Amino acid sequence: MNPAGVPPPPGQQVIHVTQDLDTDLEALFNSVMNPKPSSWRKKILPESFFKEPDSGSHSRQSSTDSGSHPPRLSSAAVGAHHVRSHSSPASLQLGAGAGATPSQAQQHAHLRQQSYDVTDELPLPPGWEMALTHTGQRYFLNHIEKITTWQDPRKTMTQPLNHMSHHPSAPSTPVSQRSMAMSQPNLVMNHQHQPQMTPSTTISQQNHPTPNPQAALLNIPNALTSQQQQQQKLRLQRIQMERERIRMRQEELMRQELAELGKQGFYEGRVAKAVVDVIQSNGGVMDLEDLKSHASEEVKPIVTNYKGLNVWEIPPNGQGITALLALNILENFNLKEMGHNTAHYLHILIEAVKVSFADTLWFCADPEKVAVPTTKLLSKPYARDRSKLIDLQRATAKYNQGNPFPVGSDTVYFTVVDTQGNACSFINSNYMGFGTGLVPDGCGFTLQNRGANFSLQPGHPNCLAPRKRPYHTIIPALATDADTGELLCSFGVMGGFMQPQGHVQVLLNMLEFGMNPQQALDVPRFCVEYDKKVDAWLVSLEDGIPQHITEALIAKGHRVVAPVTGHNRSMFGRGQIITKGDWWRHWRILPSSSNVFWAGSDPRADGCALGY
């Protein structure tokens, strides 16, 4: 302080502490801390408040001192060989506790360890501060109750809440906590006592941040109170890394087991028992014999010709037939003349998809259990008849399935093409987010919920039955030259019942409007879905389709949801395409471009197109 006794401006304090300094504690507060005005800092606290807690107790109740006079620091309390500053004035009590006995020091260490059980990322409750003794031991000061304690008050926040903590009158007025702005993305944990959790060296031990679109899909609203959220945040942070390591280790052990035992290791071994146990414990009926008798089969893809291009899809019980039905219907219209994504163009595509789904949702079933008239459904005469149902000016509320007989919905897709033109179009999915959510013990994966696509309507071709495959939404696809059989493209669009709609839209973008693979994926799409609650078809339009187009479709009688923006655009599917040559420019493969591969990846997801 200067001779006039006026504290210097904040940031310019110079304090010289001598051995025999005897200064007013409040003056020292002002000169060193220059505290922000707040109700509890303005209080004059008793001397006993600023003493370290007694080593024989976790806490000391408020002193009987009235606090009516300014407390003073004794010369013994401030004697020091160095200077330090701290957010708590109590930390200026240099030399305090220097005479602690070994037993006291041991008890302090024990109590300090209890405090360290809580991460510093969790803020202290309102009115609390943490301070250090000269030996580095932590203790806590409550400026409201005027007590000091070795016990970290945050420990009680991690205990199970009683019923009153959920009451809306329970929270006190919160304070601003800058400490909640965490600077570290990960927690470092000590695993020296858990060597069995060390993952295989073949597995990455790094934590990868969840990409934006995926994080949005995983974002689930909750009704937690702010205190519950802080507790949950703390718990999640502390177990996240360990849980991920355990999961990755479980997956690695399972892969090693399956590599040694093959199919039998999954359908008859330890994994099979874990699958059955978790299903039956949750009310399911699958047994070991169901798994043992399962057999995958190679299927013959189904195909249709669209203006000289053969489009190949997965047969029923997959829904790939929906895309082929729609293409056959659309072949009866001059789409290019309508213009890309005009109201008339979208109206015709929407109605064609609705007609196609009317057939698929009835006829698509397990062909080993029921007769599926695939050939007749894909015939050109049948498509011409179905196309006549489309009103060019108005939306049709409901289409019934046709009669092709003679009168008497967490998906992953990738595609790869090698230098020889061999292509793989691959898709896999647990169906709805994380499938059933059931995790077989010790296996590290969730069980899919594809059975949700069975019908419970008696007599329906897709009605639930033992050892029967349900309607499947996942449909990888290929396109070839109808004359030569040469590969034109490998493609797929993820997204449940959006998949066949996506196939139709991205193919037409290339075939009718000359877009390259990336352009074909980039442009806005529509999605048709049947809403059972209102018993009507809903048409969702992606952001980017002009407002006047939306209004024109509404005028035609469509129930429109628009515009769909942000992460909600995932409903329009996420696709990938690889083409051989630029046939989409010329309607045919030119010799000069036949060895050039073009690839595109959907901007609605986290994928990429990569040549290597």
Question: Quick one: tokens of 191?
Answer: 């695993």
User: What is the β-pairing status of strands 559-564 and 536-542?
Assistant: parallel
d(CA 412, CA 537): 27
Give the whole-angstrom CA distance, residue 21 versus residue 78.
Answer: 7
The three-point CA angle 329-331-332 to 5° equals 75
What's the Cα-to-Cα distance from 37 to each of 40, 41, 42, 123, 351, rounded to whole Å?
9, 7, 7, 20, 68
- Cα angle 276, 282, 283 (rounded to 5 degrees) comes to 90
Question: Running DSSP on this structure, what letter comes out for residue 529?
Answer: E
SS3 317: coil
396 is an active site residue? no
The one catalytic residue among 133, 148, 411, 415: 411
Token pair of 54, please?
Answer: 């007694």
In sequence order, what are the residues at sequence separation of 6 or more whose Cβ sits closer than 8 angstroms to the Cβ of residue 570?
A: 213, 216, 217, 495, 604, 605
CB 111 within 8 A of CB 58: yes
What residue spans of 364-433 are helical by DSSP H?
374-377, 380-387
- H or E stretch covering 261: helix 226-261
How far lies 77's CA from each of 22, 30, 149, in Å?
9, 18, 19
Residue 296: what residue type?
A: S
- The total of other beta-carbon atoms located within 10 Å of residue 402's CB is 20
Sign of the dihedral through C-alpha 578, 580, 583, 585: positive
CB neighbour list of residue 535: distance below 8 Å, 6 or more residues apart:
none
In terms of phi and psi (left: phi > 0; alpha: psi -120 to 50; beta: otherwise), the region of 485 is left
Beta strand residue intervals within 243-375, DSSP E: 302-306, 309-313
Q: State the greatest distance between any 2 C-alpha atoms of the chain, in Å, as a whole number.
A: 116
CB 158 within 8 A of CB 118: yes
| Residues tagged active-site | 411
